[in-house]
């Protein structure tokens, strides 16, 4: 007896459609916090990109003669204590912010996801070691590790990026390990192992794709945290160094003139708030859109 | 021993110790059997009796914390204690497994074609193009309609029965010598169960595989395997040729299972006779006969030590101290 002669009773196909991604954009455009978050994030990204090709004034030239000008046709938001154009500073500051975020989250994501995946795949003492190490790292807030790092290699953008990145690793380790363990417990992993797949291939082909949406959401939220941390470090003088403009730096400069020109603190503060709010809304929206189950677990 | 009679897979005194929430416990004890090429063996027992644990032990798929004792030989080579990387070369290649839940046994993120082709590419190292051709042929063989067109579809686009066909294709891709089917039809509609079992039986015969079929359903076992083992509390309480076991049920548990099976055409209102009590938790397995707490003819001596298996016929063993009594009753029990 070879090929079945009769058509099996269960041959009625279930709705043929495309991959599970179908309809993502349609749902996304109807999702309010996703749309708002994406708009705010794009605003910041747009500002950073614009600063690469055009700023109303140079963000670096100091012109003490025209310091602390109020908003005017020439300087839309006025000038700071060194006579630099606020709009130009904000635009270039967006660039620093995004760079710090991308690199710091990149560090956290790369190391954190690798370690988390290894912990979930190897179990046993490997998992124990990785988790204890990340608990240990987590105990040092970014500010503290930046201060320690700055004491050794001196303050600067690189120092703050590294410190923030290292601080982000444990969060990614935890999120990755937790969700990877849940995937490892699913039956298709057993089936994949029964088909002869080793831990590495299962991790790459089965575990990673199934936790990708969780990682994207987490990365978005970590991006917001990185921006806040960078602002805090620059404000403390440990991050971006003058003359490189950054929003945290602008806050620091405005501090001494808080009563004289309070708006100088409001602009960078608002910029930080927009970026952080935008990313958080985007993360929430993505969480709903990518995996409805996650939204319910919150 | 000539090649024809040497067992393909030989299991001796297999034991599995598992870490449960209530501490380590012996999930499987003293399981022994041998299967020659082309032979089929059934494993039957209520849920929680240790059937899946036995199967996973053969596949080397138990959690790392599990302790496996005894011996499992595949073509004479010992598998117990084999490194995971060596086991990977066997799984899906020489020994394959089908699982109970076709709805969850496939990765929702990959096309079915990719998942069926994977073991092929892995173990035979063939090209993507020839793996795809082979995959379509396989899917066609297991009765997936429109295989060539649907090879790039995702699991959620198939029904349960179709998915089980796909997992069968996946398990059989590399022409394994041994197929373990763990309740392959339990999650399916009754109408589809028979088709899937027939498909498996055809494929086993066509390819000369040995099969271990696991089920909680005596009817499934009766129709599909040459020999059977009845498991209870991690031990094999009765084993023998399927006909012989059904003809002369020796163990009170086998008899209980038989009485408890649902029957087609039973008069309306007839209540199912169930075996009183429940399968014991691993941690509370009784000291002697594992069935003692539910057995109708239990005696004090049953609780002393695990009864040895006694031969009650050619190749027919029963792990009970009172086969004289139970088998005298059996005639009545088996009458439908
Ligand atoms: N990974 C595990 N850890 C601890 N206990 C387990 C594990 N897998 C199964 N068990 C226990 O082992 C016993 C046998 O289970 P199983 O072999 O799955 O039964 P079944 O005969 O229904 O397939 C059950 O009591 C179950 O709770
Ligand atoms: S050994 Fe005793 S308790 Fe166990 S099945 Fe036989 S009669 Fe019952
Ligand atoms: Mg089972």
pLDDT tens, position by position, A31-77: 889 999 999 999 999 999 998 888 888 878 877 777 777 888 777 78
* Ligand 1 pocket, residues with Cβ under 6 angstroms: B 18, 20, 27, 45, 47-53, 63, 282
Inform me whether the pLDDT recorded for A22 exceeds 80. Answer: no
CA distance B143 to B137: 10
Q: Give the residue whose CA is nearest to atom 5 of ligand 2.
A: B320
Cβ neighbours around A158 below 10 Å, total = 15
The answer to whether residue A31 sits within a structural domain is: no
Nearest CB to A195; choose among B162, B170, B191 = B170
Q: Copy the structure tokens of residue B251.
A: 């163990």
What CATH number does the domain containing A114 carry? Answer: 1.10.3720.10
The answer to whether residue B4 sits within a structural domain is: no
Q: Give the residue whose CA is nearest to atom 6 of ligand 2.
A: B320
Inform me whether the pLDDT recorded for B264 exceeds 70. Answer: no
Closest CA in chain B for residue A6: B143
Give me the residues paired with residue B314 across strands.
none
The helix (H) or strand (E) run that includes residue B31 is strand B23-35
**Cβ–Cβ < 8 Å for B224, B42:** yes
The answer to whether residue B155 sits within a structural domain is: no
Most distant CA pair in chain A: distance in Å? 97
Say yes or no for a CB contact (<8 Å) between A16 and B91: no
Interface test with A, best of B123, B154, B157 (most A CBs within 10 A): B157
**Cβ–Cβ < 8 Å for B183, B215:** yes
CA distance B147 to B112: 10
CA distance A166 to A157: 14
- Burial class of residue B183 (count of CB atoms within 10 Å of its CB; 0-12, 13-18, 19+): buried
What CATH number does the domain containing B311 carry? Answer: 3.40.50.300
B321 lines ligand 2 (CB under 6 A): yes
The answer to whether residue A8 sits within a structural domain is: no
Name the average pLDDT for chain B.
89
Report the number of distinct structural domains present in chain A.
Answer: 1
CA distance B267 to B271: 9
Q: Copy the structure tokens of residue B68.
A: 């496996």
- Burial class of residue A65 (count of CB atoms within 10 Å of its CB; 0-12, 13-18, 19+): exposed
Tell how far the Cα of A35 is from the centroid of ligand 3, in angstroms: 47
Domain span including residue B228: 9-102+178-196+204-263+273-335
CA distance B163 to B116: 11
Max mean pLDDT among A80-89, A253-262, B172-181 falls in: B172-181
CA distance B108 to A188: 9
The answer to whether residue B124 sits within a structural domain is: no
- CA of B231, closest atom in ligand 1: 21
Pocket test for ligand 2, best of B231, B250, B252, B304 (most atoms within 8 A of CB): B252
Domain span including residue A92: 79-296
Pocket test for ligand 1, best of B19, B257, B282 (most atoms within 8 A of CB): B282
**Cβ–Cβ < 8 Å for B69, B13:** yes
Give me the residues paired with residue B239 across strands.
B229, B317
φ/ψ (deg, to 5) at B179: -115, 125
Q: What is the ipTM of this complex?
A: 0.83
Kindly give the pairing relationship between strand B235-241 and strand B227-232: antiparallel
Work out the average pLDDT over B83-105. Answer: 90
Work out the average pLDDT over A188-204. Answer: 90
Report the number of distinct structural domains present in chain B.
Answer: 1
B275 lines ligand 2 (CB under 6 A): no
Cβ neighbours around B29 below 10 Å, total = 20
The answer to whether residue A25 sits within a structural domain is: no
With 0.90 as the threshold, say if the pTM is over it.
Answer: no
The answer to whether residue B59 sits within a structural domain is: yes
The answer to whether residue B250 sits within a structural domain is: yes
Count the alpha carbons within 13 Å of B260 in the hemisphere toward its beta carbon. Answer: 15
CA distance A127 to B255: 47
DSSP-derived 3-state class of residue B68: strand
The answer to whether residue B286 sits within a structural domain is: yes
A100-152 pLDDT, tens digit per residue, is 999 999 999 999 999 999 999 998 899 999 999 998 888 877 778 778 888 88
**Cβ–Cβ < 8 Å for B165, B154:** no
């Amino acid at each position: 007896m070879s090929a079945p002669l009769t058509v099996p009773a269960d041959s009625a196909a279930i709705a043929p459609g495309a991959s599970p991604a179908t309809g993502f954009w349609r749902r996304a455009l109807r999702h309010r916090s996703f749309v708002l978050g994406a708009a705010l994030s794009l605003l910041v990204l747009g500002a950073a990109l614009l600063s690469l090709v055009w700023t109303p004034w140079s963000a670096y030239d100091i012109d003490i003669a025209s310091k602390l000008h109020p908003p005017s046709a020439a300087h839309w938001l006025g000038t700071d204590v060194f006579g630099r154009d606020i709009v130009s500073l904000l635009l270039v500051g967006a660039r620093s912010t995004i760079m710090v975020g991308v690199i710091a989250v990149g560090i956290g994501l790369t190391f954190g996801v690798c370690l988390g995946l290894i912990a979930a795949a190897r179990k046993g003492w490997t998992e124990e070691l990785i988790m204890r190490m990340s608990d240990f790292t987590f105990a040092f807030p970014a500010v503290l590790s930046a201060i320690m790092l700055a004491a050794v290699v001196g303050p600067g953008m690189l120092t703050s990026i590294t410190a923030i990145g290292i601080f982000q690793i444990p969060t990614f380790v935890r999120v990755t390990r937790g969700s990877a363990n849940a995937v490892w417990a699913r039956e298709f992993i057993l089936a994949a192992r029964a088909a002869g797949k080793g831990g590495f291939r299962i991790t790459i082909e089965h575990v990673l794709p199934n936790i990708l949406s969780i990682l994207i959401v987490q990365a978005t939220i970590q991006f917001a945290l990185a921006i806040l941390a960078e602002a805090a470090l620059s404000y403390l003088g440990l991050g971006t160094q003058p003359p490189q403009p950054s929003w945290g730096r602008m806050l620091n400069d405005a501090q001494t003139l808080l009563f004289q020109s309070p708006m100088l603190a409001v602009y960078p503060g608002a910029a930080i708030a927009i970026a952080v709010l935008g990313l958080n809304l985007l993360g929430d929206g993505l969480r709903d859109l990518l995996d409805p189950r996650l939204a319910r677990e919150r | 021993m000539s090649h024809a009679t040497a067992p393909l897979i030989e299991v001796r005194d297999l034991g599995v110790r598992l870490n449960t929430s209530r501490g380590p416990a012996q999930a499987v004890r003293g399981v022994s059997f041998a299967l020659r090429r082309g032979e089929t063996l059934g494993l039957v027992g209520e849920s929680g009796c240790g059937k899946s644990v036995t199967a996973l032990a053969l596949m080397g798929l138990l959690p790392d914390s599990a302790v496996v004792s005894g011996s499992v030989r595949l073509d004479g080579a010992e598998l117990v204690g084999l490194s995971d990387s060596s086991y990977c070369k066997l799984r899906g290649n020489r020994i394959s497994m089908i699982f109970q839940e076709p709805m969850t046994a496939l990765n929702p993120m990959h096309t079915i074609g990719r998942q069926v082709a994977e073991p092929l590419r892995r173990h035979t190292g063939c090209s993507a193009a020839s793996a795809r051709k082979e995959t379509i042929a396989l899917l066609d063989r297991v009765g997936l309609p429109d295989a060539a067109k649907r090879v790039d579809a995702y699991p959620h686009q198939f029904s349960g029965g179709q998915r089980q066909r796909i997992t069968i294709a996946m398990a059989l891709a590399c022409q394994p010598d041994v197929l373990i089917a763990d309740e392959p039809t339990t999650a399916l509609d009754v109408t589809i169960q028979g088709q899937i079992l027939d498909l498996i039986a055809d494929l086993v015969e066509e390819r000369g595989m040995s099969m271990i079929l696991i089920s909680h359903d005596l009817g499934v076992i009766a129709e599909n395997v040459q020999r059977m083992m009845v498991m209870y509390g991690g031990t094999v309480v009765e084993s023998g040729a399927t006909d012989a076991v059904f003809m002369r049920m020796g163990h009170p548990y086998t008899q209980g299972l038989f009485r408890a099976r649902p029957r087609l055409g039973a008069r309306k209102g007839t209540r199912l006779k169930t075996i009183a009590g429940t399968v014991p938790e691993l941690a509370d397995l009784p000291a002697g006969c594992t069935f003692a707490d539910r057995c109708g003819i239990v005696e004090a001596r049953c609780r002393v030590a695990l009864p040895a298996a006694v031969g009650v016929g050619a190749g027919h063993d029963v792990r009970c101290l009172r086969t004289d009594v139970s088998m005298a009753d059996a005639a009545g029990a088996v009458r439908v």
